[in-house]
Amino acid sequence: METRPGHCLLIIFSEWIWLFTLTSILGGTQAELRCIPSCRLPLTKASPRGRSELDLTNSIEAPGEDLVGFADWSPGADSDHRAGGKHNVAESTASEQSSSKVHTRLEGNEPSGEDASNGQQKLSDPRVFPGGVSTAADPPPSDDEKGNDEAKEENGSPVDVTESPDEGADAATWRRTRSARSAETWSGFRPEDGEDASFSDQEEFELPSSTFALSGDTAHNQAMVHWSGQNSSVILMLTKYYDFNSGRVTESSLWRSTDYGTTYEKLNEKVGPKTILSYLYVSPNNKRKIMLLTDPEVESSLLISLDEGATYEKHGLAFDILSLLFHPEQEDWILAYGHDQKLYVSVEFGRRWQLVQDGVIPNRFYWSRLGLDKEQGMIHLEISVSDGRSQYITCKLQNCSDGNKGKPFPGFIIPNSLVVQDEYVFIQVPVGGQSVHYVSYKRNAFYQMKLPKYTLPKDLQIISTDDNQVVAAIQDWHQNDSYNLYMSESRGLFFTLMLENAVSSGGPEGNIMIDLYEVAGIKGVFLSNKVVENQVKTYITYNKGRDWRLLHAPTTDLQGNKVYCEQPYCSLHLHLHVSENPYTSGNIVSKDSAPGIIIASGVVGPELTTSNVSIFITSDAGNSWREVFQEEYSVFFLNQGGSLVAIRHTPLPIRHIWLSFDEGRNWDKYSFTSSPLYVDGVLGEPGEDTLIMTIFGHFSHRSEWQLIKTDFRSIFQQRCTSEDYMTWQLHNEGEVCIMGMKRIFQKPKANVRCVTARNQYISQMSNSCPCTEADFECDYGFERQIDRSCAPSFWFVPTATSRDCISGDTFLNTTGYRRAFSNNCTDGTLLKYSPTRQKCASRAPRGLQLFTSEGTLVATLDRNVTFLVFLEEGLGSTTSITVDFGDGTAISYVNISSIDDGVKHIYSRVGIYQVSATATNTLGFDRVILHLHVSCRLEQVQLSAPSVVVKNRAVNLTTALRPGNVGTVSYYWWFDNKTEPVVTLDGATSFTFSEAGRHTVTVQASVGNTVHQDQMTVAVYDYFRSHVLGFSSNLDEQNPGVSEWREDISRVVKRNMVRVTGINEEQLLVTVIPGLPTTAEIFIVPEKKPRGGGMDEKWAHLDQLSQVLLSALNQDLIQFTLKPGVQVNVYATQLSPAPLVDSSDGGHSGTAVIMLVSVVLMGLAVFVIYKFKRKIPGINTYTAEQPDKEQEVIPTVTSIDIPNPEGDQLTSLDHVDVQLDSRGRGYLPSHTDIMLSDEAPHVF
């Protein structure tokens, strides 16, 4: 009885276990069946991605095929940052360095970058992201992030991995958690309910790896890594601490590995324990030659290694290096640009330096190219000249004296416009206030670039000069955030439209970035983002821009669900920003060794956006696309492009990477470290093989740099054979004839794990295709019509003779079509659309142009002025040119080619000259005229005006120039605070002051680019008295002719007058007049407080003061000592200065009235004295011939006591009785009617 219940319980328990086991098996079977490609996943949005703490600055660029890297951002990523990022900067040196790029070194952390879109060197802004725990990080990690709990324990603080909604987004659009789709072999599907227990328990593969910690560099926040090159195991790494407060590097360490990155040796002792290194350079022609620059704040020197960094020799520098440019062939030739705009050269790899030229524009210096330039050791330079202009010169390497400088373009150019690229040289020339673009092909003469008429560019950027053709981006006058793309023929002269409204954006250094991507490995395939009705859409072309179409969206999404997307309302749109740093993969990547494969981030929908971004891949050059990730991943090529490596872009530490051996259709998970690593970047082995990668980062926020060498060679056990490859044919929506030929490529078969032999990816081309209309683009002056034919534009005259006839006897007569470059079609319609060469017909010259080399209409006296003459149409060999300089001289040339370097002339006189050029042949002529202003340099302008004038009376203002004849002068007159000047071509004007007081007059004289000004103050009164003063002749000998001296003399004279006469100093104004003999004018003005009574009384008061003043002057009481031994007497004279006041209407006296009266009185005095011998009271007569004779005229006035020079005081005059005839007002009063007492006058 006791065992029976126990037995029952055992049976029940056994049945329960059996039922539970069966249920579990059935449930597991059901889960497996549900987990098929057709199962649906919850619709999710891309989570925000924090930037890597890696600063993507780099000192030497590397092409994309040489280095692989971890992307620092992706579309849709916000600004969340990984916590604790002390290691926040990385810089790179490249192993496969482009020898023609300028390697720029800037102060602080602003090294150079390379614009991947056009190959032109550009400067990159530093990207530094401060550390801190992200509050909007990725969703909870999948197995790819397994070990985060371990990281939490190691760091001592939890990592916030919560998801936050998009900024400004609704709660309904809050992003859902998205786990990584990882599995042992993952095909893009996963369980519906996200990560489950079995998901993290799946098998993973382990990669052979080794970890090395850079001990002692915990605080360092910048790194520069260089892998020496192909077949070399040497890696150099320079780490440093950049202090952002002081703006300089304060610590550095140099590390070297000789075993592919397994171990590193610290070389600080070899380079000097106290040496602070700032930059690392590598010769592009010999990777064994290394150059290190020290921090110029501590010492200015460089260290040179000739054995891949094993040993160094130190050399001092007399200048600070900003950038270096290595010669494309000579490994020891280097150009160095310094802080002071000086360019230096070394032919001994930096051991010795020599100054080449000063005043060089930054980044506007280029090495010559063998086969294009006359000499190998020649340099192309843009130098700065006066007045903000530049000049294009060439000079020899070690002798850049004035006698050895060449001027390929004879005139001045717009600053910062010289571009020397391949066979082309581009400049911009100022003509008539506009920027005109010129090009030289194969170093021949410059010609104006011909854009479609009415294309008025605000900006022009050279995108590419590959394949003997120029691609230019032009922002037209009506565009703001987009550019039009144009293509030229071989000479870079005639441009036709390639694509309208390509998206543009500002680069990190303020440069312009155009959304145009050239697919690597396949000629003629481009991707571009275009603005269409305010939406950005991605287009693709297979014939270098002749035809564009939208991208087809994937047929299914990542979960296998059908995607409904109908063009043109819906298509695939890609982000086309390429990486400027070798540590990043960028938004889009392709590789020459893997033609047809393009990996890019983008979206499916009506337009390109930065939300819900996924990673897409195409294996057939853009015909069909697949979605491979719905999160931010960096994908790199491995093993000659035969395999792909993906690393999740996340601010969280990771342990895994993903490998695909079937072009991204399936991915295998591999662990590369046992401890989760915050990944800062990835460096790949140089060359196309890429079987070893170095992943660098740190385990915690305060740990040293960790370098993890990952070796993929164990995966690929054998060499590939022909059985391991398959072929595929390039097509465009089924059309196999692309760019005039059928192209067949071979690639590794899916899931074949063998080492790809070098050059086994080369395409196999079949026979060329017959030419069709599709192989031709519209020629210059023609436009594509709706029926796809080419017809002349409304402004184009197709019968016009080609420019070829200017320099030759034959030309290509266009049919309106031209075959696209790199197009290899044959036969077919080739003859129908191709131009035919014809003999140049004799035509009258047309389109003659004449301008100066400086682009202005101003020339300087006695200096060479160069005239440039261009002819648009006409047979150059039979057309003569005559240039008439307008000064009586002319010169003739047999043909236009004789004056490619311009016509020089010197003018010996200033003036305006009518210069003409005439082109003549048997059928007619063409003539062009310009008016040239020849002037000499203006040194000074001097304003003359009366110091005191009458209100509401016109005043004459005059100027004097030095030198006197400078050519055409424009005068700008400002009165008081008026904002608009009065402009005249005459140096004299008149003005009426309507208000009493002090007024400022300013005049500016403008001659050419020179402007000088003068200014003076004019006092305006209702009435005043004035007299002209003379000085003893000894003052003229001391007159320097400067305004300050005249002001000082005026002040001394006024002070003596006040002392002698007792007149209130506020009523006296003295002005010394410019010129010789030295004269002055004394003004007696009303009191500041108006006197009572009528105008007669006011005038009477001024006349009283005038008589007192004249009496003192006539008795030689006003004198002063100029310097010891030089006593100057001041006296009244009837000679007047220039008539400065217009006295056409009647009124009281001023300076002009005094002059008129002086002439009358002088004539009367001469007559009376010499005819009647009568003495006229009130006039002192001085005879130059008889200096010792007594004065014949003695005024009948009571004399004033003269103060004793020894110190006696002057007796003041307290009262003056004056009887005046009112009819004499306005003239000097008669002294016979003045009775003076011994007292000074009382001034009211």
pLDDT (tens digit, 9 = 90+) per residue, 402-442?
Answer: 778 888 988 889 999 999 999 999 999 887 678 889 999 99
Q: What is the pLDDT of residue 529?
A: 95
For residues 837 and 603, the model is more confident at: 603
pLDDT (tens digit, 9 = 90+) per residue, 588-626?
Answer: 999 888 889 999 999 999 999 998 899 999 999 999 999
- SS3 of the chain: helix, strand, coil, percent, to 5: 15, 35, 50
pLDDT (tens digit, 9 = 90+) per residue, 46-94?
Answer: 333 333 333 333 333 333 333 333 333 333 333 333 333 334 434 443 3
Q: What is the pLDDT of residue 609?
A: 92
DSSP per position, 308-342: TTSS-EEEE-SS-EEEEEE-SS-TT-EEEEETTSE
Statement: residue 1232 has pLDDT above 80: no
Q: How many CB atoms lie within 10 A of CB 929?
A: 12
- The Cα–Cα gap between 594 and 185 comes to 23
Q: What's the angle, vertex CA 543, arms to CA 537 and CA 546, rounded to 5? A: 70
Statement: residue 639 has pLDDT above 80: yes
pLDDT (tens digit, 9 = 90+) per residue, 106-131?
Answer: 333 333 333 333 333 332 333 333 33
User: CB neighbours of 1164 closer than 8 A, spacing ≥ 6?
Assistant: none
Q: What's the angle, vertex CA 535, arms to CA 534 and CA 541, rounded to 5? A: 120
Q: What is the pLDDT of residue 497?
A: 92
User: Residues 420, 408: contact at Cβ < 8 Å?
Assistant: no
pLDDT > 70: what percent of the chain? 71
Q: Hey, what are 549's tokens?
A: 């179409």
802 pLDDT band (50/70/90 cuts)?
A: low
140 pLDDT band (50/70/90 cuts)?
A: very low
For residues 104 and 570, the model is more confident at: 570
pLDDT (tens digit, 9 = 90+) per residue, 215-234?
Answer: 888 788 888 888 876 678 88
For residues 1197 and 405, the model is more confident at: 405
- The Cα–Cα gap between 54 and 86 comes to 9
Q: What is the pLDDT of residue 340?
A: 87
Q: What's the angle, vertex CA 801, arms to CA 796 and CA 806, rounded to 5? A: 130
Beta strand 678-684 with 692-698 is antiparallel
Statement: residue 681 has pLDDT above 90: no
Q: Token pair 């319980």 is at which residue?
A: 9
For residues 719 and 64, the model is more confident at: 719
687 pLDDT band (50/70/90 cuts)?
A: low
What is the rounded average pLDDT for all residues in the chain?
A: 74
Q: How many CB atoms lie within 10 A of CB 251?
A: 17
* Cα 1105 to Cα 176, 1024, 1215, distances in angstroms: 100, 11, 11
860 pLDDT band (50/70/90 cuts)?
A: confident
349 pLDDT band (50/70/90 cuts)?
A: very high
What number of H helices and E strands is found in the chain? 8, 81
Q: How many CB atoms lie within 10 A of CB 341?
A: 15
Q: What is the pLDDT of residue 1135?
A: 47
Q: Which region, left, alpha or beta, applies to residue 350 given φ > 0 means left and ψ of -120 to 50 means alpha?
A: left
Q: What is the pLDDT of residue 503?
A: 93
DSSP helix/strand/coil, 1169: helix
Statement: residue 1156 has pLDDT above 50: yes
Average pLDDT over residues 179-192: 34
pLDDT (tens digit, 9 = 90+) per residue, 1179-1191?
Answer: 333 333 333 333 3
- The Cα–Cα gap between 887 and 899 comes to 20
**How many residues comprise the chain?**
1244
* Out of 537-551, 716-730, 828-842, least confident range: 828-842
Statement: residue 26 has pLDDT above 80: no
User: CB neighbours of 529 closer than 8 A, spacing ≥ 6?
Assistant: 502, 503, 515, 536, 537, 538, 539, 573, 574, 576, 608
pLDDT (tens digit, 9 = 90+) per residue, 548-559?
Answer: 999 999 999 988
Q: Token pair 């150079």 is at which residue?
A: 112
Q: How far apart are the first and last CA of the chain?
A: 148
For residues 536 and 698, the model is more confident at: 536
DSSP per position, 531-542: EETTEEEEEEES
pLDDT (tens digit, 9 = 90+) per residue, 874-900?
Answer: 776 778 889 999 999 998 888 776 777
* Cα 377 to Cα 347, 370, 371, 1157, distances in angstroms: 10, 9, 12, 81
Q: What is the pLDDT of residue 622?
A: 94
Average pLDDT over residues 767-778: 88
Q: What is the pLDDT of residue 287?
A: 87
Average pLDDT over residues 513-518: 92
Beta strand 718-719 with 754-755 is parallel
User: Residues 575, 537: contact at Cβ < 8 Å?
Assistant: no
Statement: residue 834 has pLDDT above 90: no
Average pLDDT over residues 1225-1231: 32
User: Residues 644, 637: contact at Cβ < 8 Å?
Assistant: yes
Q: What is the DSSP letter of 117?
A: T
